[in-house]
């Protein structure tokens, strides 16, 4: 009995061990399945994708009178992905161009204030200009149309995944039918894995002698792309199958299908990956997904297996083969009838060329990012698909980059080489709105991301003088009259001032003094001694107050040399100050972001143009008039020598020891500021007229090309008189050198020039006798 009892104990122990091992195994399996369940549900019920924010440039408007060549409309169309065709455009994103007519089919786009559903238009051309703009096919006249804005950047963490999220209800049945026909015809019948498809795939692999058939359901594909890596191992395949079953058990088919439609990879657009049918529909067909036709839907479905191999922009023949295979499969499954299949097979494959590389503006985008980060967290910016609309003009940016690059290269041929590279920066602003149209913060963003236009503090040199003269020309708060007029005589003579116990005597660039001159002459030729004398007379504090009113926020030392630009300023603020003068004394905050939308089309924020009248229109106009003289006769006359003949006001600037070279100037519609120098203040040995002015002229010639020239219009409160430039007195018609001078009403001179004010025969006699 003992031996029998003893033999039972080992068996009992083994049974207990088996139970424990079984329980442990079940616990491990349960834990494994539980972890997979948590992984599936937490990701699927949370935010599915990190959708980067997209940054757009300003759209370009086509209108009667526009010079399509000067605005590079052909290049813009190609960058936007429009494709040339020989017949009349029939699909969004197609255009036909000949010498006298441009026909294009606009693409769909949602703007902050309206949505556009693409439609065909035609522009009749004469000498490159639009003479008539009509809507096709009814020939209804149009005042203008917008080409959708170009994408200049994406704000993302690790990779740029372009994705336009769509809801299943917005996806046409023809697209879901096409995808299911070739990817998972039994999608609505299986429970995540399809044994029948797996068996068929294994049989095919055995016949072929290699593993080529996956047998994956659509749900398994989603799991692979959504949760797992792309490695091909048995463990990953088992995990994929289990997670697919969990996904199907937990969620309905519609949610799974919608996630799949937004997840699938369908190609590249430059550095941006194209994910989901929403983004792919815009890339390949220029329209929203709900407007896809049968052949277009079949083309997308055919690309899923190999987006590059079946990309219609790269391999149109292979893309057609894949598309036709989908159409035949849909016919076999009775998703379409024979007539629909025949019509779809007869449709040509869209052969839009691959979009040209977009214009990038990295320094501009950095400013956009900095401003956005004050409003939104980094996680929101890189994951919630914000659409950011900016003021950038891509052609102005491209032209400005080319002009700066060429200008720096030309300067480097004239100066000795050193260890640090020559740097430069340009800002182009629309004075009336403050919109920054172009911004370059350095010669090479890849080398240094430091933005010399928004982050640097540089001495402005003589660029500060117009601010001081504006202070002198403004009406006095007590008397209501200005201390000076443009023809007031000032002394350009040796002047010694004492500050903090130290004496200082300003010198002119030519080391000479020019005696009594008009204020206009002093500014046109940038005489230092005269400028210091005027500032001393009105008080440096008044100069600082005017600078502050115009938007200068950096510390300004109340010293006599301030008027010569010895206090450092931020170039962007300096450009903004000049923009206020150009805009008749109305200050507008420099602006880069116009509006922000979420991915559902709701406007989250809209930046309104903030304006403030900081100087009277007539006082600001006096400075504009004086700066016109700088270009016509003074230190900025190189602008005319280089062939820029539009009405323009401008000022050169050079700092002590030639460390900074500046030029700022504006037409009534556009202002540009150029700076050239070295980061470590090595002397450039060139003046603003020699280094910055040629670059400015090239920039402005390019960005104003094709625009009709406009002149500066005097505001009410300004009177114009003919005066003798030397004396500032009124001149009769006999004065050979008379100029038109602007005055605040009531401050114009009353005396006549003695040299030319007498009888005509006396004037003639003086001319004869010399």
Catalytic center residues = 183, 462
Residue 646's nearest CA partner among 689, 691, 697 is 697
* SS3 category, 61: strand
Residue where the block lists tokens 């100087």: 615
Phi, psi torsion values for 14, nearest 5 degrees: -65, -40
Burial tier of 168 (Cβ tally within 10 Å: 0-12, 13-18, 19+): middle
First to last CA, the chain: 153
Residue 674's nearest CA partner among 407, 421, 466, 445 is 407
* SS3 category, 573: helix
Give residue 567's region: left, alpha or beta (phi > 0; psi -120 to 50).
beta
d(CA 88, CA 120): 9
Q: Where would I find the beta strands (DSSP E) of 519-628?
A: 586-588, 593-597, 603-606, 611-613
Q: Is the dihedral of CA 277, 279, 285, 291 positive or negative?
A: positive
* HSE, side-chain direction, 13 A CA sphere, residue 166: 28
In the beta sheet, which residues pair with residue 606?
595
d(CA 483, CA 475): 7
* SS3 category, 366: helix
CB-based burial, 444-462: b 16+ in 10 Å, e otherwise:
ebeeeeebbbbbbebbbbb
d(CA 40, CA 226): 9
Give residue 91's region: left, alpha or beta (phi > 0; psi -120 to 50).
beta
């Amino acid at each position: 009995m003992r031996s029998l009892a003893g033999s039972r104990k080992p068996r009992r122990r083994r049974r207990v061990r088996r139970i424990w091992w079984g329980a442990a195994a079940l616990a491990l399996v349960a834990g494994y399945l539980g972890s997979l369940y948590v992984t599936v549900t937490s990701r699927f019920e949370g935010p599915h994708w990190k959708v980067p924010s997209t940054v757009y440039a300003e759209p370009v408007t086509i209108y009667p009178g526009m010079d399509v060549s000067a605005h590079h409309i052909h290049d813009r169309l190609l960058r936007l992905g429009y494709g040339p065709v020989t017949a009349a455009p029939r699909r969004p994103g197609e255009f036909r161009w000949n010498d006298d007519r441009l026909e294009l089919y606009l693409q769909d786009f949602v703007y902050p204030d309206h949505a556009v559903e693409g439609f065909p238009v035609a522009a009749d051309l004469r000498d490159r200009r639009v003479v008539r703009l009509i809507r096709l096919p009814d020939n209804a006249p149009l005042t203008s149309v917008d080409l959708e804005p170009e994408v200049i950047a994406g704000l993302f963490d690790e990779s740029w995944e372009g994705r336009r999220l769509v809801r299943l209800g917005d996806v046409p049945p023809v697209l879901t039918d096409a995808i299911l026909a070739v990817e998972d015809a039994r999608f609505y019948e299986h429970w995540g894995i399809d044994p029948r498809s797996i068996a068929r795939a294994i049989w095919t692999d055995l016949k072929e002698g290699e593993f080529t058939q996956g047998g994956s359901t659509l749900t398994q594909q989603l799991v692979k792309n959504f949760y797992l890596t792309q490695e091909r191992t048995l463990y990953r395949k088992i995990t994929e199958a289990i997670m697919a079953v969990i996904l199907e058990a937990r969620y309905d088919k519609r949610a799974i299908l919608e996630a799949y439609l937004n997840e699938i990879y369908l190609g590249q657009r430059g550095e941006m990956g194209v994910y989901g049918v929403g983004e792919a529909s815009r890339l390949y067909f220029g329209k929203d997904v709900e407007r896809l036709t049968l052949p277009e839907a079949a083309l997308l479905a055919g690309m899923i297996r190999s987006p590059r191999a079946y990309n219609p922009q790269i391999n149109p023949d292979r893309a057609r083969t894949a598309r036709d295979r989908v159409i035949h499969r849909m016919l076999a499954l009775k998703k379409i009838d024979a007539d629909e299949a025949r019509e779809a097979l007869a449709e040509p494959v869209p052969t839009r060329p691959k979009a040209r590389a977009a214009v990038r503006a990295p320094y501009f985008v950095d400013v956009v990012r900095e401003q956005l980060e004050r409003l939104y967290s980094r996680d929101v910016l890189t994951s919630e698909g914000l659409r950011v609309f900016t003021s950038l003009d891509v052609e102005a940016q491209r032209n400005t980059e080319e002009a700066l690059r060429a200008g720096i290269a030309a300067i480097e041929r004239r100066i000795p080489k050193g260890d640090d590279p020559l740097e430069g920066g340009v800002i182009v602003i629309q004075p009336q709105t403050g919109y920054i149209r172009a911004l370059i913060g350095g010669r090479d963003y890849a080398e240094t991301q430091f933005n010399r236009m928004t982050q640097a503090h540089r001495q402005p040199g003589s660029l500060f003088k117009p601010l001081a003269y504006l202070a002198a020309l403004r009406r006095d708060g007590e008397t209501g009259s200005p201390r000076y007029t443009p023809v007031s005589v000032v002394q350009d003579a040796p002047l010694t001032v004492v500050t903090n116990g130290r004496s200082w005597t300003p010198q002119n660039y030519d080391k000479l003094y020019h005696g009594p001159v008009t204020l206009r002459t002093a500014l046109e030729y940038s005489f230092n001694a005269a400028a210091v004398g005027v500032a001393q007379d009105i008080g440096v504090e008044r100069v600082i107050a005017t600078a502050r009113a115009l938007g200068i926020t950096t510390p300004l030392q109340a010293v006599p040399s301030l008027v010569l630009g010895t206090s450092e300023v931020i170039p962007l603020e300096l450009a903004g100050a000049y923009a206020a003068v150009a805009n008749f004394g109305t200050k507008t905050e420099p602006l880069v972001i116009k509006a922000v939308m979420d991915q559902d089309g709701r406007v989250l924020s809209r930046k309104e143009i903030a304006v403030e009248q900081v100087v009277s229109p007539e006082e600001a106009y006096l400075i504009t008039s004086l700066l016109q003289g700088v270009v016509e006769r003074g230190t900025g006359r190189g602008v005319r020598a280089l062939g820029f003949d539009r009405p323009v006001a401008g000022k050169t600037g050079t700092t002590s020891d030639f460390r900074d070279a500046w030029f700022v100037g504006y037409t009534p519609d556009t202002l540009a500021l150029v700076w050239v120098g070295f980061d470590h203040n090595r002397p450039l040995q060139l003046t603003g007229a020699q280094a910055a002015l040629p670059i400015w002229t090239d920039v402005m010639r390019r960005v104003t090309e094709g625009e009709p020239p406009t002149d500066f219009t005097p505001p009410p409160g300004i009177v114009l008189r003919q005066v003798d430039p030397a004396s500032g007195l009124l001149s009769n018609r006999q004065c050979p050198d008379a100029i038109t001078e602007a005055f605040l009403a009531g401050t114009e001179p009353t005396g006549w020039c003695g040299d030319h004010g007498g009888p005509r025969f006396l004037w003639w006699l003086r001319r004869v006798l010399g």
